[in-house]
Amino acid sequence: MEENNRLLPPALRDVAKYTNQNVILFDKAYELPSQLYGTEPEKDWCYYFSQAELARQRKDWQAVVDIAEEAFALGDTPNDPVERFVYIEGYAHVGNWEKAVKLSRESYKVSKNYVAPLLCKLWSRIERETESSLEQSTTISQVRSEFECE
């Protein structure tokens, strides 16, 4: 998805298409030596975003939503509108379509020209990967219309 994010510099977009998330070791926790790295920083938006992204990669949608609740409770906001995408996807997968659309609108407001095509791709994936239902198809139609998806 990042290779299509026009808010990133071209060099980062070029490299993003070569990333391989299959090499991530989810079950390994490493204790970094505090004498080299210092103490663990306070948990902020970036921490929760990275944890949600790991949960998304495991397809643990309830964990994504639980992390979203903690992240949004901070009162902080994403540095990039695409950082909401993991939460949009999580809420959609647990059937909270209203919250998924709300977060989509928040991202869309930041930059319609850049974010709309990315939202359309995200919602196409959500449509493919979530269970078909009346609420799902109604939401998908609404999103396609609102974000002018092809």
One pLDDT digit (tens) per residue for the chain, 150 residues: 566 666 666 766 676 666 666 555 556 566 667 777 788 788 899 999 999 999 999 999 999 999 999 999 998 888 899 999 999 999 999 999 999 999 999 999 998 889 999 999 999 999 999 999 999 999 999 999 999 998
* pLDDT of the residue at 18: 63
* pLDDT of the residue at 39: 81
User: What CATH number matches the domain at 43-146, 1.25.40, 1.10.155, 3.40.120, 1.10.260?
Assistant: 1.25.40
Rounded to whole angstroms, how far apart are CA atoms 121 and 117? 6
Residues in CB range of 12: below 8 A, 6 or more apart:
2
Rounded to whole angstroms, how far apart are CA atoms 14 and 19? 10
What one-letter code names the amino acid at 122? L
* pLDDT of the residue at 37: 77
* pLDDT of the residue at 90: 98
Buried residues in 66-97 as b, exposed as e (16+ CB within 10 A)? bbbeebbeeeeebeebbbbbbbbbbbbbbebb
- The CA radius of gyration of the chain, in Å to the nearest whole number, is 16
Rounded to whole angstroms, how far apart are CA atoms 52 and 67? 6
Rounded to whole angstroms, how far apart are CA atoms 69 and 106? 16
Locate the domains of the chain by residue range: 43-146
